[in-house]
Structure 1
Amino acid sequence: MNKEEQVLMGFRDLYNKLVWLNKDKMEDSLKGYKSSEVHCIEYIEKNIDSNVTKLAESFYMTRGAISKMTKKLMEKGLVESYQKPDNKKEIYFRLTEQGKVIYKIHEELHKEFQERDKAVFEQVTEVQFDSVLRFVDTYSRHLDAEIKKHGIDMKSE
């Protein structure tokens, strides 16, 4: 296995371990909510004037799939839609009080997981962090270019 394969396998392995390790606690604390719903709630809370297009781009999902998800979140009383007085065409989303409770539970879990893993990150130097972040950014930009080259437009799907 060459280094490129080792890096990709390492990222995949790390991701799978994190998901597996965090899964039970997440599911117990956020019973009745799918991971995609919780991450949609997180995005809406952290991004002002979230709309279907922004959510679709962020999650690499179609606008139709996001519309279905936000409709479910509205039915569950977690999200509400609104419009701006100067733009009656565009629909935006914000969390309800109940949605903010789910958001806070999710954030607390992430803090707990960060605390659990803190010992590893404390050993990483700034130079190492910068190197990894540079690589992730470079690879991400490459994948963005490939997506564009293949004519995949997340906005139109």
Structure 2
Amino acid sequence: MDRRQQLVSELMDLCHEITWLNKPILEKALSDYTLSEIELIEHIALIPYANVTKLAAASYMTRGAISKLTKKLMNKGLIESYQQTDNKKEIYFRLTNKGQQVNQIHQELHHTFLERDQIVFENMTDDEFDTVFRFIGRYRHHLKNITRE
């Protein structure tokens, strides 16, 4: 296996291991919600004027899938839709109080995971972080260019 393939394989394995370790904790703390719902709630909290198009891009899902998921979240009372006074065409989403509570629990779990994994990061230098960020940025930029073609 060449080094490129080994690096991609290691990155994918790392992502799978993190998911495997965190998923049961997330599911226990937020048992009424799917991981897709939790992630969409997080995106709505982070993205200004979150609409179907922005959420689809951020979630790597189709607009149709996002439409279905936002309807589910609205039915559960986690999000609400709204329109800007100057743009009646576009529909945006924001968290309700209940949605903010779910997002808060999710963010606290992220913090717990970072504390659990602190030993991995405590000896990393700024240069090491920068190198990893540059690599990930280049790779993501490359993949985005492929999807645009």
| Inter-partner Cα distance in structure 2 for 1:23 and 1:67 | 24
Q: Which amino acid aligns with 1:2?
A: D
- What amino acid maps onto 1:5 in structure 2? Q
Q: Shift of the alpha carbon at 1:32?
A: 1.7
Match of 1:148 in 2: 148
TM-score w.r.t. the length of structure 1 is: 0.93
Deviation at residue 61 of structure 1 after TM alignment: 1.3
Question: In percent, how many aligned pairs have the same letter?
Answer: 51
Match of 2:126 in 1: 126
Q: Deviations over 1:73-111 (max 9, x none)?
A: 000000000011111111000000100110000000000
CA distance in 1: counterparts of 2:112 and 2:60, whole angstroms: 27
Q: Quick one: which amino acid aligns to residue 123 of structure 1?
A: N
State the superposition RMSD in angstroms: 0.7
Q: How many residues align?
A: 149
Query: Runs of 4+ in structure 1 displaced over 6 angstroms?
Result: none
Aligned equivalents of 2:18, 2:74: Cα separation in 1: 29
Shift of 1:59: 1.3
Deviations 1:21-64 (A, max 9, x none): 11111000010211111011001111221000100111121111
Q: TM-score normalised to the size of structure 2?
A: 0.97
Unaligned runs of 5+ in 2: none
- Give the number of the structure with larger relative contact order, counting CA–CA contacts within 8 Å between residues 6 or more apart: 1
1:26 aligned partner: 26
